[in-house]
Amino acid sequence: MIDFFFDFMSPFAYLAHSQLPELARKHGYELRYRPIDLPAAKLAAGNTGPPNVSMPIKLRYLRKDLDRWAERYKIPISFPPSLKSELANKGVFFAEAKGQCKDYVRHVWSHSWGEGQDMSSEELLAEIASELGWEPDAFLAYVHSEEAEDAYRLSNEEAHSRGVFGAPIMMIGEEMWWGSDRLFFLDEYLSSQ
């Protein structure tokens, strides 16, 4: 089992997920999707620096770097208007109960980082629910529920207890790989098992 700790706000997690399901399949591993609150994970790890969006010079480079990776992976990338991801993150638990995590995650990222749509939009989340064959009102009620809040809190607590400090992070047991550019290390590890 590969635990995939991510936040939909992270373009690097989007890049990683474009490759990760096939990498897991190739080695006979399942993915376990663990959504986290990335800013909270960073703070819990002692990272109190400013976010990338408040550093124009770094952000300019990051955009170029993201474009390069997207071109390498042959996927589109477009900055969404909002990085508010809490509701989309909570939707993972609804998808998990339906056995459709991979599809849900792929749809959210396709619409947000792929097409530049607002991942915090309830209209978009309802559209994604419909695309997956779910009742949109039931899905939206879930992401606002105490049940979803509890599941999200537990996922964040698990991440903190396992030393997660950013996203994406892939873990097998105590082995950790951080970043979309570390997938080849994960591939080498899985090949050696």
* Residues belonging to the active site: 10
**Hey, which residues does 31 pair with through a beta bridge?**
2
In order of 23, 41, 49, 81, 181, the CA distances from 118 in angstroms are 28, 22, 25, 6, 25
Please give the Cα distance from 94 to 147 (Å, whole number): 10
CB 30 within 8 A of CB 3: no
CB 17 within 8 A of CB 106: yes
Helix or strand (DSSP H, E) at 2: strand 2-6
**Hey, which residues does 176 pair with through a beta bridge?**
171
Name which of 98, 97, 86 is nearest 149 in CA terms. 86
Please give the Cα distance from 121 to 127 (Å, whole number): 10
The distance of Cα 179 from the centroid of its chain, to the nearest Å, equals 11
Name which of 160, 141, 137 is nearest 149 in CA terms. 141
